[in-house]
Amino acid sequence: MSAYEQLIKSGNKFFLVLEDLTNKIMTSKYNPLYYHGALPQFYLWVLFLSGLLLFAYYIPTVDNAYLSKGIINAWTSVEYINDKIPFGAVVRGIHRYAGDAMVITILLHAIRVWFTDRYRQYRWLQWFSGIVLFVMVLFIGQTGYYLVWDERSLALTRMTVYALEGVPLIGPGLKSWFLNGDTISNYTMSNYLFIHIGLSFSLLFGLWIHYVRMTRPVMTPPPAINYVLMALVLVFVFMFPITSGKMATLNGTPPTGFEMDWFFLAPYALMNVVPSVLVYWLIVVGITVGLCLLPMPWAFLIKEPPVEAAEVVLTKCVGCNLCYLDCPYQAIEMVPAPANSRFKLLATVMPYRCSGCGVCVGACAFDAIDLPDLPDANVLAQVKQIMEAK
């Protein structure tokens, strides 16, 4: 067994022990590990809702807006939300901490599917789209920090400009796309807001790709888990209220440091320690591409013999739909039966999608589907052998 396979095996064992322990404490019905994909999905809805409320009062400018109310720019509008709008500080805190919670739960979800070996072969698309979603979530979070227009926003903006400018050939174009012009201006803030909201909505499309090849993905935790997830966020909102730094001033002394949010801003810490922008991009792009390619067929670190797809015995199939509903890989289609058949539909397997998992064999009450690699007779013989050995 290779070192990689050993790692996956140990990770799997760890999750089994953790699962068992959590079941003892919370019962299997409320075990969050059984809703690992649904946890970030829940926080995404919380972010959409709280973001919508913040958007109602947010002003995306660096100067000169709405002088009459004292709200002259993004920073003052955020202060207004925080201090003057009823529950504004709570909504802001929920938005911030739900973002952090989303990153934590995405990492938990990704580590679980990786260690339970459900990331490759027929799940490569879920893994690949998951990495793209994660990168998008990180960037959305970073643009959230730019929007506050405090000293941290300015420092992050300058660091991002520095990193983008350093990209060979397209650097200057990236810089003017990012700033929405040549320098930081009101247009820059509108661009940040556009990216922040636009990318957030694009997550829905990414998630559609993430879910499309899954049968009945578990997207919603039971209400009791939702309450706990929300309560956890609220504990942080009240214990560690969110505040902005000093208002950014374009011509003032540049800030030397800022409060760090490791969940979103870790790439900036990396930028600070690498010797050049090129090395920074090589590391960031290298890690992202490497993770995306991890489950690709030619990069499989775990070798497996080719799979023989399940086969429907058409003379026995009654078109009941059960195998179609149960196949986890959407590898079964119900097609119109020939005119001389007594039934309207018959099942057919799409071999390129079939993982040979055998779920359909168990689902069929008519013995009408079989795995050529593992015929029923062999399974029965194996079960008999095990029973006799006991």
Residue 325 touches ligand HEM, criterion: CB under 6 A: no
Residue 348 touches ligand SF4, criterion: CB under 6 A: no
Residue 363 touches ligand SF4, criterion: CB under 6 A: yes
Residue 366 touches ligand SF4, criterion: CB under 6 A: yes
Structure tokens at 344: 């309207």
Pick one of ligand HEM, ligand SF4, none as the site partner of residue 366 (Cβ within 5 to 8 A by kind): ligand SF4
Pick one of ligand HEM, ligand SF4, none as the site partner of residue 363 (Cβ within 5 to 8 A by kind): ligand SF4
Return the sign of the alpha-carbon dihedral for residues 178, 184, 190, 192.
Answer: positive
Q: Which of residues 263-322 bind ligand SF4 (CB under 6 A)?
A: 310, 312, 317-322
Structure tokens at 85: 């709008």
Return the sign of the alpha-carbon dihedral for residues 297, 303, 308, 309.
Answer: negative
Closer of 291 and 379 to ligand HEM (Cβ): 291
CA distance 343 to 364: 16
- Kindly determine how many residues on this chain lie close enough to bind ligand SF4 according to the rule CB under 6 A: 27
Q: What separation in angstroms does the CA of 378 have from each of 312, 370, 371, 373, 384?
A: 18, 11, 10, 9, 10
DSSP string over 253-300: PPPS-----HHHHHHHHHHHHSSSHHHHHHHHHHHHHHHHHTT-GGG-
Pick one of ligand SF4, ligand HEM, none as the site partner of residue 322 (Cβ within 5 to 8 A by kind): ligand SF4
Residue 124 touches ligand SF4, criterion: CB under 6 A: no
Give the shortest CB-227-to-ligand HEM separation in angstroms.
19
3-state class (DSSP) for residue 135: helix
Within 13 A of 244's CA, how many CA atoms are on the CB side? 25
With CB under 6 A as the contact rule, the residue among 221, 368, 372, 385 that binds ligand SF4 is 368
Mode of pairing for the β-strands spanning 311-312 and 369-370: antiparallel
Q: Which of residues 18-57 bind ligand HEM (CB under 6 A)?
A: 37-38, 40-41, 44
With CB under 6 A as the contact rule, the residue among 213, 237, 323, 370 that binds ligand SF4 is 323
DSSP summary character for residue 371? B
Closer of 159 and 214 to ligand SF4 (Cβ): 214
Contact between 310 and 371 (Cβ < 8 Å): yes
Pick one of ligand SF4, ligand HEM, none as the site partner of residue 11 (Cβ within 5 to 8 A by kind): none
Give the shortest CB-372-to-ligand HEM separation in angstroms.
24
The stretch near ligand HEM (CB under 6 A) out of 59-67, 85-93, 210-218, 261-269 is 210-218
Residue 217 touches ligand HEM, criterion: CB under 6 A: yes
Q: Which of residues 274-303 bind ligand HEM (CB under 6 A)?
A: none
Residue 109 touches ligand HEM, criterion: CB under 6 A: yes
Residue 184 burial (C-beta neighbours within 10 Å; 0-12, 13-18, 19+): buried
Pick one of ligand SF4, ligand HEM, none as the site partner of residue 119 (Cβ within 5 to 8 A by kind): ligand HEM
Give the shortest CB-108-to-ligand HEM separation in angstroms.
10
Contact between 229 and 221 (Cβ < 8 Å): yes
Residue 213 touches ligand HEM, criterion: CB under 6 A: no
Return the sign of the alpha-carbon dihedral for residues 271, 97, 174, 58.
Answer: negative
Contact between 231 and 72 (Cβ < 8 Å): no
CA distance 256 to 30: 46
Residue 89 touches ligand SF4, criterion: CB under 6 A: no
Pick one of ligand SF4, ligand HEM, none as the site partner of residue 358 (Cβ within 5 to 8 A by kind): ligand SF4
Structure tokens at 33: 């590990």
DSSP summary character for residue 251? T
With CB under 6 A as the contact rule, the residue among 134, 192, 264, 280 that binds ligand HEM is 134
Residues at the contact surface with ligand HEM, assessed by CB under 6 A: 37-38, 40-41, 44, 106, 109-110, 113, 118-119, 123, 126-127, 130-131, 133-134, 137, 207, 210, 214, 217-219
